[in-house]
Amino acid sequence: MNLLAQLEPAPVVVPGIEWSYLWPLIVLSIGAVLLITITSLVPATRRQGFPAAFTAATAIIAFAFLPWMSNRLDDIGGRVLVVDGAMAVDGFTIFVTGVICIAVLLVALLLDDYLRREGLDGPEWYVLMLLSASGGVLLASAEDLILTFVGLEILSIAVYVLAALHLRRSESQEAGFKYFVLGALSSAIFLYGIAMVYGATGSTSLTGINEAIMSVNDAGLSPLRESSMILLGMALLLVGFGFKVSAVPFHVWTPDVYQGAPTPVVAFMASAVKVAGFAGMVRVFVVGFGDLGDDWRPLLAAMAIFTLLVGAFLAVVQTNIKRTLAYSSITHAGFLLVGVHAAGSDSVSTSLLGSKAVLFYMISYTVMIVGTFGVITVVGGRGDGNHTLDAYRGLSRRQPLLAALMAVLLLAQAGIPFTSGFFAKFRVIAAAAEGGQYGLAAAAMVAAVIAAYLYLRVIVAMYLADDVPVTGAASADHADDDHAGGDVAVPAAGAATGSEIRVPPSVLVALVLAVAATLVLGIVPGVIDGALSDGATALSLLRP
């Protein structure tokens, strides 16, 4: 009997989970499962706008939980650890989750008409987007490197499939394949980084890593600070994050994937995926490796300068609008890297400014870029191939409303006052200057000036250039009968017959929301100061 008792398995210890703090993640995940289930059991719901409406409603419901969660956090000190300490719910998590939900809502509105226009059927587009968004939320809240990797993979794998999901375009499959191969390589590098950090610290949790870094031996020395293993681990993790956020020199996939992938998918990649990648980077480096800032911040500063300048210079020589915005997104990543660099500063004031700058840039960039790609989705036409600069010549006469919305979004990306882009860039540069990083601030200002040229070039084409005939894919689409009900159509002036551009109501709603948010944040930037302070304070309280 004693032998049998000894052979009995030990009881499984199940970590306590505060489910009420995970509602946004649960809603996004369960929403994806429910959507594929409903559309499988009721096939009629696949083609009636139901998937888009369901996805938008899911994003709104997930977003609606955030104010309630924020109020609960205020009552318990502003932060709570869940899933046995593997996830943190704080102001930073709530803010990033809100940005991701906004991106899902806007992209769902763009995607509905795109799929109808392209003759594509299937709610899997929306299911994959919801799953990717849930991975982004997990990544933003992860307090353990293993969970960070899981979130990163959930976020990425769904987008690999989305990039290749336009089965009628070989460019889409090529984009998905390139993204997958390079993404798999970056994931392997990221895993090696986790292994190195674990070997050096004996832990994968950010708290355990902090404790190991700050520990000292009997002689009052910290051998870990001189460990090449921890330095190599940080470098490999930075490479993994660098790929996800399109930082130079890990940006080479970006132009090809942006050009080949379906345009609404690119909008999601450029907004939610990039935001989640930066959220993971901030939490890991600012919180986990904050005490080793002197080791990783110089490398991040060099990466930021190259990302700013390479993205800006290469963007101005492009003639394809999607490749132009691909390099533009690289420049935006450079601005965010400057903010991350400031957030990792030893100075509390500089760290707070940097964290606020990163968060403000996240929300500003998300609405700007989704709105911009919304216009590109419309102009691209059937086949999603009409993306040369000539497609925008005389757009103000063929579709004045669309041109006006595009102009506002482009001016915002250029950093013109009274738009969110101005304060986003200003906050980042101010944070760099506050920390004495004048070289970074100068590089950011130079990049902003160079990048302004490419945005103004598109605006000049829309308003000052003569009209040119719209041929090929665009003409076929604009004359298509599938848009015959309820679209906002304006006949072309001076363009080829039947080349009018139609703006579907759902796309118009997304564009108006994006422009309205851009202007509100540019005119009244303090409207989200409370959320910014909560997010930045959450990070500063966790600093070693």
C-alpha to C-alpha distance for 468 and 509, rounded to whole angstroms:
28
Query: Three-state DSSP class for 399?
Result: coil
**pLDDT band at 9; cut points 50, 70, 90:** low
C-alpha to C-alpha distance for 284 and 147, rounded to whole angstroms:
11
User: How deeply is 4 buried, as exposed, middle or buried, from its count of CB atoms within 10 A (0-12, 13-18, 19+)?
Assistant: exposed
Which H/E stretch holds residue 367?
helix 348-380
Mean pLDDT for the stretch of residues 513-532: 91
Q: Greater confidence, 493 or 512?
A: 512
Query: Three-state DSSP class for 502?
Result: strand
Vertex 113: Cα angle to 480 and 370 (nearest 5):
125
Lowest mean pLDDT among 228-232, 322-326, 400-404, 406-410: 228-232
Q: Greater confidence, 43 or 76?
A: 43
Residue with tokens 């709610």: 123
Winning range, highest mean pLDDT, from 20-24, 424-428, 451-455: 424-428
- Return all residues near 485 (Cβ < 8 A) that are at least 6 apart: none
With a cut of 80, say whether residue 539 has pLDDT above it: no
Q: Greater confidence, 223 or 309?
A: 309
With a cut of 60, say whether residue 495 has pLDDT above it: no
Query: Three-state DSSP class for 295?
Result: helix
Task: Write the pLDDT tens digit of every residue in 362-389.
Answer: 999 999 999 999 999 999 888 778 888 8
Q: Greater confidence, 348 or 303?
A: 303
Residue with tokens 């910290």: 222
Predicted local distance difference test score (pLDDT) of residue 8: 61
Q: Greater confidence, 476 or 5?
A: 5
Strand partners, 90: 79
Predicted local distance difference test score (pLDDT) of residue 467: 60
Among 466, 468, 492, smallest CA distance to 479 is for 492
Could you tell me the two tokens for 304?
């930021």
Predicted local distance difference test score (pLDDT) of residue 218: 40
Q: What is the pTM of this model?
A: 0.89
Give the pairing type, strands 87-90 and 488-490. Answer: unpaired
Predicted local distance difference test score (pLDDT) of residue 341: 92
Q: What is the tally of helices (H) and strands (E) in the chain?
A: 22, 4
With a cut of 90, say whether residue 430 has pLDDT above it: yes
With a cut of 50, say whether residue 498 has pLDDT above it: no
Task: Write the pLDDT tens digit of every residue in 408-423.
Answer: 999 999 989 999 999 9
With a cut of 70, say whether residue 483 has pLDDT above it: no
Q: Greater confidence, 540 or 516?
A: 516
C-alpha dist (Å) from residue 127 to 162, 357, 438? 10, 32, 45
C-alpha to C-alpha distance for 32 and 25, rounded to whole angstroms:
11
With a cut of 60, say whether residue 499 has pLDDT above it: no
Q: What percent of the chain is modeled with pLDDT above 90?
A: 48
Predicted local distance difference test score (pLDDT) of residue 57: 95
Predicted local distance difference test score (pLDDT) of residue 519: 94
Predicted local distance difference test score (pLDDT) of residue 504: 86
Predicted local distance difference test score (pLDDT) of residue 4: 52
Predicted local distance difference test score (pLDDT) of residue 484: 37
C-alpha to C-alpha distance for 409 and 279, rounded to whole angstroms:
24
Cis peptide before 223 (omega within 30 of 0): no
For the chain, give the mean pLDDT.
Answer: 84
**pLDDT band at 7; cut points 50, 70, 90:** low
Task: Write the pLDDT tens digit of every residue in 77-90.
Answer: 677 878 877 888 88
CB 536 within 8 A of CB 359: yes
Q: Greater confidence, 31 or 226?
A: 31
Predicted local distance difference test score (pLDDT) of residue 431: 92
Amino acid at the residue 236: L
Task: Write the pLDDT tens digit of every residue in 438-470.
Answer: 999 999 999 999 988 889 999 999 988 766 544
Residue with tokens 């020589």: 317
Among 252, 251, 392, smallest CA distance to 320 is for 392
Predicted local distance difference test score (pLDDT) of residue 161: 92
Radius of gyration of the chain (CA): 24
Task: Write the pLDDT tens digit of every residue in 140-167.
Answer: 999 899 999 999 999 999 999 999 888 7
Task: Write the pLDDT tens digit of every residue in 105-135.
Answer: 999 999 988 888 888 877 899 999 999 999 9
Winning range, highest mean pLDDT, from 161-175, 298-312, 460-474: 298-312
Amino acid at the residue 44: A
For 80, phi and psi rounded to 5 degrees? -145, 140
Q: What percent of the chain is modeled with pLDDT above 70?
A: 87
In Å, how far from its chain's centre is CA 403? 25
CB 446 within 8 A of CB 473: no
C-alpha to C-alpha distance for 533 and 529, rounded to whole angstroms:
6
Predicted local distance difference test score (pLDDT) of residue 472: 43
CB 293 within 8 A of CB 270: no
Predicted local distance difference test score (pLDDT) of residue 493: 33
**pLDDT band at 5; cut points 50, 70, 90:** low
**pLDDT band at 497; cut points 50, 70, 90:** very low
With a cut of 70, say whether residue 225 has pLDDT above it: no
C-alpha to C-alpha distance for 358 and 350, rounded to whole angstroms:
12
User: How deeply is 427 buried, as exposed, middle or buried, from its count of CB atoms within 10 A (0-12, 13-18, 19+)?
Assistant: buried
Among 248, 213, 440, 211, smallest CA distance to 340 is for 440
